[in-house]
Amino acid sequence: MNNQWFSKVAVWLVIALVLFTVFKQFDRTTTAGNQIAYSDFLDEVRAGRIKSVTLQEGNGGTEIVALTSDDRRVRSTATYLDRGLVGDLINNNVKFDVRPREEPSLLMSILVSWGPMLLLIGVWIYFMRQMQGGGKGGAFSFGKSKARMLDESNNTTTFADVAGCDEAKEEVKELVDFLKDPQKFQKLGGRIPRGVLLVGPPGTGKTLLAKAIAGEAKVPFFSISGSDFVEMFVGVGAARVRDMFEQAKKSAPCIIFVDEIDAVGRHRGAGLGGGNDEREQTLNQMLVEMDGFETNLGVIVMAATNRPDILDPALLRPGRFDRQVYVTLPDVRGREQILGVHMRKVPVGSDIKADILARGTPGFSGADLANLVNEAALFAARRNARVVEMVDFEKAKDKIMMGPERKSMVMPEEERKNTAYHEAGHALVARLMPKTDPVHKVTVIPRGRALGVTMQLPETDRYSMDKERMLSTISVLFGGRIAEEVFMNQMTTGASNDFERATSIARDMVMRYGMTDELGPMVYAENEGEVFLGRSVTKTTNMSEATMQKVDREVRRIIDEQYAMARQLIESNQDKMHAMAQALLEWETIDSEQIDDIMGGKPPRPPKDWTPSSSKPGGGSTPPVNPDGAPAAA
């Protein structure tokens, strides 16, 4: 900031000085008066029309500036000082003054002679800095590192601010011990990892964890993004890598953190047509700096990515990124801890239970939970509340999982009724099929891109799927279309995504997971590597025509069996379908307790906060929503 301010002031100062010099010269020229011949000047003196005269010796002779009787200023020049002129002035009572030669100052001479050139240089520097995007260091600093340094006095983030990733924190704690006391490890011959790669899905807190390490160790923290290395100029990326490590060595022990390293560390020679030479040159320089002839004692390189599969193998070998720390999605205990961290920043009511919210948000990352707390605070602010209550968190959770409500959307009553039966079909099959997640909420209020949603929430965190659960999921997906056929005698386009997902699950069961007796435990999936990530340039098929026909038959068998099973459940429970659809048409949204009443043969209890709506929004039939916010089977 200071360099930018000084540069701007210097440019404008040069411009001001040059303009001042030009105007001063112009002022001297214009105020000197009208130029007349020397003989005419003598005639004016002898005629008594001159009141005063100033004589000054110059480089080209004697400069004469005279004031006439009518207050006009005239100017003349004599090649030498005419001694008779003095007598004429005395005889005609003309006041005169003789001044010595005026030597221009050195500064003025420099400004007059070099001013235009300095002006051009200043303007060139200014525009070059603008082309550089206002970067620090002037017009010749393209190779300077853009790493932002956060010293130990300004970094207040510690491990107390990081929750939900206890295993990852344990992995990196010894880095803190090394930075605090390097001799503890070096006297035993141990070598601290030179690089630590944080791997995990987006929003799990990789950047926050790296910042907390620097905060705990009280060492400087250099932060830079992978995309900051490469510019439009050739060789800038490699120069910035060198400059960054030079700065880090001066501040050692310290931490260099490269966020989104896949932007510069992608597999070399990847994709069609070869690689990007500039990016590869930057990567090569980083490889040399991390483990080359020079040793970077006390400089630990940390990087974060959610795409470790596309990184260059040379970057992941021991000696560079020695250790990979996996920062995964938090479990129910981790989500409770993360909610506790974020709830400290907002006033919460006495009815808030973080453990209940954690159980109801499976699949949420740390960023998702932070967004949940923020959305709940916004809901509380809209109703002018002083604290954030549980009802605000429920509304925020529904908005994040199912999308925002679109109550203003009006649709025909017949289409709305079709939506109610469609969603009721999803919910009923989900309740009756084995190994399905409990139905949390069903609504025919349009939310986001969905015109109707059936949301299922798992009771516990799940990390794998068994065959029976996958088959039940396919049946649940078919429940919506079957309900339309049985009760509305029609087919709509709302089930298109249901069919797509059901077919994908069935095909994966046959081709990837070996879940059929006919084809056995063998992978039949085609090579689907992305060519621009360097995985494969050609797409090969490892199946014969006969095998492909067997695959199609098995996929068709699975889909037909689950479709028939879902149809049998719906046709044998028509009374429950009618009751559930009627409840949806009346209340627009029903929860698990009301669904329990309907499945138990009892009239459903009305919603706790339900008030009759003056306008009935239209419903639709789209897939339900998974805990991660994507459309799910329900």
Confidence of residue 556 (pLDDT cuts 50, 70, 90): very high
Total structural domains within the chain: 4
The highest-confidence range among 35-49, 307-321, 592-606, by mean pLDDT, is 307-321
Task: Please write the tens of the pLDDT for every residue from 540-549.
Answer: 566 788 888 8
Query: What pLDDT shows up at residue 32?
Result: 46
Binding annotation for Zn(2+): 422, 426, 498
If one compares 72 and 140, the residue with the highest pLDDT of the two is: 72
Phi, psi of 23 (to 5 degrees): -70, -35
Query: 3-state DSSP call for residue 330?
Result: coil
Confidence of residue 615 (pLDDT cuts 50, 70, 90): very low
Which stretches of 411-452 are assigned E, i.e. beta strand? 439-443
Query: What pLDDT shows up at residue 25?
Result: 55
- Residues across the chain: 634
If one compares 322 and 630, the residue with the highest pLDDT of the two is: 322
Query: What pLDDT shows up at residue 485?
Result: 84
Give yes or no for residue 400 having a pLDDT over 80: yes
Confidence of residue 634 (pLDDT cuts 50, 70, 90): very low
CA atoms within 13 A on the CB side of 421: 23
Residue 100 lies in a domain: yes
Phi, psi of 75 (to 5 degrees): -135, 145
Positive/negative CA dihedral, 485, 491, 492, 498:
positive
- Least confident piece of the model among 161-175, 417-431, 561-575: 161-175
- The answer to whether the bond into 253 is cis (omega within 30° of 0) is yes
* Whether the Cβ atoms of residue 376 and residue 423 lie closer than 8 Å to each other: no
Residue 616 lies in a domain: no
Question: ∠ CA 202-203-204 to the nearest 5 degrees?
Answer: 100
Q: Which amino acid is at 387?
A: V
Give yes or no for residue 633 having a pLDDT over 60: no
Q: Identify the DSSP state of 486.
A: I
Tokens of 634: 């329900």
Query: What pLDDT shows up at residue 6?
Result: 60
Q: Are residues 484 and 568 in the same domain?
A: yes
What HEC string does 77-138 produce? EECCCCHHHHHHHHHCCCEEEEECCCCCCHHHHHHHHHHHHHHHHHHHHHHHHHHCCCCCCC
Rounded to a whole number of angstroms, the distance between the first and last alpha carbons of the chain is: 55
Give yes or no for residue 369 having a pLDDT over 80: yes
Give yes or no for residue 30 having a pLDDT over 50: no
What HEC string does 331-348 produce? CHHHHHHHHHHHHCCCCE
Q: Are residues 368 and 432 in the same domain?
A: no
Residue 407 lies in a domain: no
The CATH number linked to 554 is 1.20.58.760
* Residue 547: its H or E element: helix 545-571
Q: Are residues 341 and 320 in the same domain?
A: no
- Can you tell me the mean pLDDT for 330-336? 85
Q: Are residues 427 and 393 in the same domain?
A: no
| Residue showing tokens 């004429």 | 88
Query: What pLDDT shows up at residue 14?
Result: 65
Query: 3-state DSSP call for residue 319?
Result: coil
Calpha distance 533→308 (Å, rounded): 12
Strand partners, 78: 62
Query: 3-state DSSP call for residue 585?
Result: helix
Calpha distance 242→248 (Å, rounded): 10
Phi-psi bin for 307: left (phi > 0), alpha (psi -120 to 50), beta? beta
- Can you tell me the mean pLDDT for 256-285? 73
Residue 126 lies in a domain: no
Query: 3-state DSSP call for residue 206?
Result: helix
If one compares 292 and 431, the residue with the highest pLDDT of the two is: 431
Report CA-CA distances (Å) from 151 to 39, 46, 519: 79, 84, 61
Among 275, 298, 326, the domain-final residue is 326
- Can you tell me the mean pLDDT for 221-247? 74
The CATH number linked to 265 is 3.40.50.300
Calpha distance 560→400 (Å, rounded): 34
| Residue showing tokens 């249901």 | 498
Binding annotation for ATP: 200-207
Interhelix angle 366-382/332-343, rounded to 10 degrees, is 50
- Least confident piece of the model among 60-64, 395-399, 462-466, 519-523: 60-64
The highest-confidence range among 143-152, 154-163, 268-277, 435-444, by mean pLDDT, is 435-444
Among 351, 370, 402, the domain-final residue is 402
- Can you tell me the mean pLDDT for 519-527? 76
Query: What pLDDT shows up at residue 41?
Result: 78
Mean pLDDT computed over every residue of the chain: 75
Confidence of residue 1 (pLDDT cuts 50, 70, 90): very low
Confidence of residue 2 (pLDDT cuts 50, 70, 90): low
Residue 86 lies in a domain: yes
CA atoms within 13 A on the CB side of 296: 29
Calpha distance 195→301 (Å, rounded): 5
Query: What pLDDT shows up at residue 557?
Result: 92
Q: Are residues 322 and 336 in the same domain?
A: no
Query: What pLDDT shows up at residue 548?
Result: 86
Instruction: Say whether 278 is catalytic.
Output: no
Give yes or no for residue 317 having a pLDDT over 50: yes
Tokens of 322: 């020695």
| Residue showing tokens 């701007």 | 8
**Of these residues, 375, 423, 484, 588, which one is catalytic?**
423
Interhelix angle 467-483/413-432, rounded to 10 degrees, is 150
The CATH number linked to 80 is 3.30.720.210
- What is the separation of C-alpha 122 from the centre of its chain, rounded to a whole number of angstroms? 35
CA gyration radius, the chain? 41
- Least confident piece of the model among 180-194, 269-283, 310-324, 478-492: 269-283
- Can you tell me the mean pLDDT for 157-177? 79
Sequence-ordered alpha helix ranges (H) in 159-307: 166-180, 183-186, 206-217, 236-250, 277-290
Residue 142 lies in a domain: no
Confidence of residue 140 (pLDDT cuts 50, 70, 90): very low
Residue 116 lies in a domain: no
* Whether the Cβ atoms of residue 432 and residue 408 lie closer than 8 Å to each other: no
Positive/negative CA dihedral, 18, 19, 22, 27:
negative
Q: Are residues 261 and 226 in the same domain?
A: yes
Q: Are residues 487 and 540 in the same domain?
A: yes
Query: What pLDDT shows up at residue 353?
Result: 82
The CATH number linked to 336 is 1.10.8.60
- Can you tell me the mean pLDDT for 581-604? 81
Query: What pLDDT shows up at residue 541?
Result: 60
| Residue showing tokens 């001066």 | 250
Task: Please write the tens of the pLDDT for every residue from 179-197.
Answer: 777 777 777 777 777 788 8
Task: Please write the tens of the pLDDT for every residue from 401-419.
Answer: 777 777 666 677 777 888 8
Calpha distance 570→4 (Å, rounded): 72
Q: Whole domain around residue 306: which residue ranges?
A: 148-326
Q: Are residues 398 and 424 in the same domain?
A: no
Contacts of 42 (CB under 8 A, 6+ apart): 85, 88
| Residue showing tokens 């017009």 | 139
Q: Give 173-180's long-range contacts (Cβ < 8 A, gap of 24+).
A: 175/213, 175/217, 175/300, 176/213, 176/216, 176/217, 178/300, 179/217, 179/219, 179/253, 179/255, 179/298, 179/300, 180/217, 180/218
* Whether the Cβ atoms of residue 264 and residue 223 lie closer than 8 Å to each other: no
Q: Are residues 337 and 434 in the same domain?
A: no
Q: Are residues 79 and 178 in the same domain?
A: no
Q: Are residues 521 and 461 in the same domain?
A: yes
Give yes or no for residue 121 having a pLDDT over 70: yes
Q: Are residues 319 and 346 in the same domain?
A: no
Among 273, 302, 326, the domain-final residue is 326
Residue 515 lies in a domain: yes
Report the percentage of the chain scoring pLDDT > 70. 74
Q: Starting from the edge strand earliest in sequence, which strands make up the sheet with 589-591, in order? A: 453-456, 439-443, 589-591
